[in-house]
Amino acid sequence: MDTGGRTAARARGGWQLLGVLVLLAAAAPIVHRYLVGYPEDQWQVDLEVYREAGRSLLIGRPLYEFTTEVPQVLPFTYPTFSALLATPLVLVPFAVAGWLWTAFQLALLWVTVGVAFRPLLERAGARAGLAQGLVAAGCVWISAVGEGIRFGQVNALLVALCLLDVVRGRDGVRLGRRHLRWPRGTLVGLAVAVKLTPGVFLVHFALTRQWRELRNAVAAAVAVTLGTFAVAPEASFEFWTSALFASDRLGPNAGSSNQSLRGFVLRLYLSDGATQALWLALVAVAAVLGFAVARAMFRRGSLVGEVAACGLVAVLVSPVSWLHHLHWGVVVVAALVGDGRALRRTVVAAVALSTAWVAWPWIGANLLASGDVPVVLARVVQNGGLWWACLSLLALWRLVPDGRVRPVPERDEPVPVMTTRD
C-alpha cells in the first residue's frame, strides 16, 4: 500500500474510532441504568438463565427442571445447543459475564448497522465510520435493543447471524487481512439451532425457491442439533419431546411484554376455544401477508428487506414474542431508509425509528393501572409493538422499490421510461 493509501486508511480508522465512541456515549445511560443502577435480584436475569443452563450441562444437573433463584424463578427454554454455547459464561464471575455480554451486544449492534445501513453509510465516504456510529447511536435507543441489554438477551446475536447470512452470504466479510466466506444459509441454520424463531427463514427460502440456502440452513441446524444430542442426549431428548411444547415455561403469556398476535388475543380474555380459533386465524393471515412481503423483497432484490420482513413475521406468528424480540426493528429501519435519497422513505424511516424508541407495552400497562384513560385506548397502547410490526410490514411493501439491475437495451431498441413510486 502506498503512502497515500496508508494515510487514507488511517483517516478512515480515525473516523471509525470516533463512531465507536459516539455509540458508547449514546449507550452509556442505558448501560448505567441496567448494569449499575438496577436491583441485584433483577440484574441480567436472562443471562443468568443462560449461564446456569451452561452450568447444568457441566455438572450434570437436569437442564429443563432447574430454575433460577427467587424472585425470578426462570427456567431454561431454548434448545440444548444454546446451553452448550453458554458454558464459557460459567468460567467467569456473573458480574463479569454481564458486562462482557453487554459489550458483545453493542459490538453486534455495530456490525448490524454496518451491514444493514451500508447504502446510506457509503454516502459519507471516508467518514462512513462516524456515520455508522451516529446511526448506531440512534438504534441503541430502540426500546427492544434497550430491553435486550436490560435482560442480557440473545436477540442481537440472532439478528446479526440472519442479516450477515442473507446480505453478506455471497461475498463474506473481511476480518483484517482475511476474507471469511461461508455457504449462504449456514448462519441462519445456526440461528435456528440457538432459538427456533428464525425458522421463518426456512419457510421463506422454500417459498422463494432458494433451495441451496434452504439445504445449507437445514444441514447446519441438523448437524449442530445432532452433535448436541451426542454431547447431552438426555437434555436434548427432553427438549424435543416435552419442554418445547410447554408454553407456560415462557412466563405469563398474556403479559404486556408479549407483543405477538397470541399475546394480543390472550389480552382479550375470551374463552379458551375462541382464543385458540382467533389466534390461529390471525396467524394464518399474518403468515400469508408477511411471507408475501418477504417474497416481494426477494423479487425486488432488497436483501435487507428480506431479513426485515422475515423477522417481523417471526414476531407476529410466534406464540410468545417479548418486547426485546423486536430487535429486528434495526433492520426494518435500514430497509425503509435505503440510501436516504428518497424523501418519503427517509421520513417514514425516521418515524419508524422514533416510535420504536417508545416502550409502548409498559406505557399501556401503566395507563390500564391508572384508570386515567378508557380501557380500549389503554389496550391499543399496550399492543403498540404489535401495531408497529404490522405497519412496518405495510411500509416495506409500499416503499421499498425494485433495486435489481436491469439489462441495458440494445442500441436499436427504444429505451423504456423508468418510473418508481419514490
Give percent above pLDDT 90 in the chain. Answer: 82
Amino acid at the residue 197: T
Give percent above pLDDT 70 in the chain. Answer: 92
Instruction: Report residue 224 as a C-alpha cell.
Output: 449442530
How far is residue 106 from each of residues 152, 240, 365, measured CA to CA in Å? 11, 32, 29
Torsion of CA 149, 150, 152, 157, to 10 degrees: -30
Instruction: Report residue 395 as a C-alpha cell.
Output: 411500509
329 CB-near residues (< 8 Å, 6+ apart):
142, 144, 145, 352, 356, 388, 392
Give the model confidence (pLDDT) of 310-350 as tens digits.
Answer: 999 999 999 999 999 999 999 999 999 999 999 999 999 99
Instruction: Report residue 256 as a C-alpha cell.
Output: 404486556
Torsion of CA 412, 417, 418, 422, to 10 degrees: 160
Average pLDDT rounded to a whole number, residues 277-290: 98
Measured in degrees and rounded to the nearest 5, phi and psi for residue 339 equal -90, 5
The pTM assigned to this predicted structure is: 0.92
Domain assignments of the chain as residue spans, ordered by start: 8-171+178-245, 247-402
Give the model confidence (pLDDT) of 31-51 as tens digits.
Answer: 999 999 999 989 999 999 999
Range with the lowest mean pLDDT among 84-98, 99-113, 250-264, 404-418?
404-418
Quote the pLDDT of residue 179: 73
Give the model confidence (pLDDT) of 42-79 as tens digits.
Answer: 999 999 999 999 999 999 999 999 999 888 889 999 99
Cβ–Cβ under 8 Å, residues 51 and 94: yes
Q: How many CB atoms lie within 10 A of CB 280?
A: 13
Mapping DSSP to helix (H, G, I), strand (E, B) and coil, where does residue 30 land?
helix
Strands, E assignment, 71-163: none
- What does the alpha-carbon distance between residue 402 and residue 300 come to, in Å, rounded to a whole number? 4
Quote the pLDDT of residue 71: 86
Confidence of residue 146 (pLDDT cuts 50, 70, 90): very high
Only one residue has cell 432484490, namely: 301
C-alpha Rg value of the chain to the nearest Å: 22
Give the model confidence (pLDDT) of 380-394 as tens digits.
Answer: 999 999 999 999 999
Q: Is the pLDDT of residue 415 over 80?
A: no
Average pLDDT rounded to a whole number, residues 365-370: 94
Average pLDDT, the chain: 92
Quote the pLDDT of residue 247: 66
- What does the alpha-carbon distance between residue 12 and residue 347 come to, in Å, rounded to a whole number? 29
Q: Is the pLDDT of residue 98 over 50?
A: yes
Amino acid at the residue 351: V
Mapping DSSP to helix (H, G, I), strand (E, B) and coil, where does residue 324 land?
helix
Cβ–Cβ under 8 Å, residues 72 and 41: yes
Q: Is the pLDDT of residue 406 over 60?
A: no
